[in-house]
Structures are given as C-alpha cells and as structure tokens.
Amino acid sequence: MQITFIGGGNMATAIIGGLHQQGGHQIHVVDPNAAKLAELTRDFGVSTSSGLPEQLSADDIVLLAVKPQQLKEVCQALAPRLNGGMVLSIAAGIRCDAMARWLGSERIVRVMPNTPAMVGKGVSGLYAASGASAADRDHAETIMQAAGITVWLDKEEGIDDITCVSGSGPAYVFYFIESMIEAAEQAGFAADEARRLVLATFDGAVELARQSPLPVATLRTNVMSKGGTTERAIGRFEAEGVKAAIIAGAMDCRDRSIEMGQQLSQD
C-alpha cells in the first residue's frame, strides 16, 4: 500500500513501526518537526516532507494522525489534493460526517486505537463511513493490525463505546498499577522492586485470565479464602465502592467522548 501519514507522533510511529515489520508498503510522513522526520527516516526508511503532497491518487491511503483541534484545517487543505483517495483517521472525537464535509469525500474509516499499539499490543475499534468500500475496510484492517488487534463497529456510536473500554482503558490499568506500586512501597519494598513485583503480578494475572476458561470473577474468588488476607482486601475495595467507581468512570469517559465529538465536529 501507498500510505501517507499526516502527523508523525507516538501513535503514528507505532503504526509505522508495525507496517515496517509487515514490509512491502510505501510510506510517506508529513510533519513540521524536522527532527521527528529524520528519526522516522533513520528507523523505518520512510520518505518525509514538512508540507502536504501536491497531489495524491485514488490508490493512496491518507492516515490522519493530528490533534483533533487541527483536523478541520488539515482536511480542508487536503481536499483539493485528495483525488478520491481513502482517508483513515485516528483523531479522537471527529465524526465521519464532519470529515466528509471538510474533505469533500465519504471514503473514510475512523479508528480509535490505544497506546499499547506502541508495543504491538494495541486494540483498535474501526468504523467505515458509507463511502468506504470492502477493499478500503481490508486496507484499514491491515494497517491497524500492524499495531495489535482490530474490532469492527457496526455504528459510529460504537467509537464512543470502545473509547471508554479500550481507548482510555490503559489509563485505568496504569492507575491501578500505580496504586499497587505505592502499596508495595508502603509494605517496605524499594521502588524498583515494587515496580518489578507489581508488573509481574499483572502480567501473570492477565495471562491466567487469557488461558483459563473460567470467568474472571471465578478466578478472583479462587484466590480468596474465608476470613483470609485476600478477602480482607476485596472487602475494603467493595466497601469503598471501587468497582462501582471504575464502571461509573468508564461511563463518564463515554459521555465525554460523545460531548467532544459533538463539539469538535461542528463547522
């Protein structure tokens, strides 16, 4: 595929790295940061420029990896150069109908990735606008699978749903890891040892959940014994409403995703 990245930030770099491992793609990156472009050329052999290409073709794929606040300006500048090319957007919040107005094209796929894409363990939710073909969907899936697993969403509102689970989910996990590291330090472990213990504990628990046919609730209760240490800890979590707060926070995240989409998609 011929892919032009508009923006060369962390998420774009993660996807480019995965595509580089796949091999066979022609990748061009547009970014005003000369040092970043030099780094991408050195690491992945991509071509680069500080400004948009003069013209693209219908066979080109343009991946928009700019901040949501910049997307309207970028789309409007891209519109006369696009010539029917496919557009893949990882910019949060901006709806397909807004991008279609700014681009003059409905050949669009929206993506909600997450930061573990930076280590090839990402989760990306994809939604195809009405103008995207089956081949466009295949291309979008191939690109995002370079950074992890993909999930197709039947309706655009699904982007808000996956945002509160996978898109923002790593921050919830990091928050819990952070708390556990602090607990380990309070228990007397040095900072580096606390980090090593907690990360290994999370890694092992996730792998057990992945391999076990049992529900995660059962895996949790299997660690607990009546009147024991784990039951005491879980009892405090329940009394403090930890599970309820996590669920409520995720729903707040979803509501904010909807609000941002409405705000940022206005003309």
Residue 111 sits in a domain whose CATH number is 3.40.50.720
- Vertex 239: Cα angle to 235 and 240 (nearest 5): 120
pTM over 0.85: yes
The annotation places the binding site at: 6-11, 65-68
- Please determine, for residue 261, whether its predicted confidence score (pLDDT) is greater than 90: no
Answer yes or no: is 263 within a domain.
no
Share of the chain above pLDDT 70, in %: 100
Nearest to 49 by CA among 40, 58, 57: 40
Confidence class for position 169, pLDDT limits 50, 70, 90: very high
Structural domain range at position 245: 168-257
> Is there a single domain that holds both residue 148 and residue 34?
yes
Binding positions for NADP(+) are 6-11, 65-68
Task: Say if residue 267's pLDDT is above 80.
Answer: no
Residues 6 and 66 in one domain: yes
Confidence of residue 92 (pLDDT cuts 50, 70, 90): confident
Q: What is the DSSP string of 77-113?
A: HHHHHHTT-EEEE--SS--HHHHHHHHT---EEEEE-
CATH number of the CATH domain containing 218: 1.10.3730.10
| Res. 109: pLDDT tops 80 | yes
Q: What is the band of 233 on the pLDDT scale with cuts at 50, 70, 90? A: very high
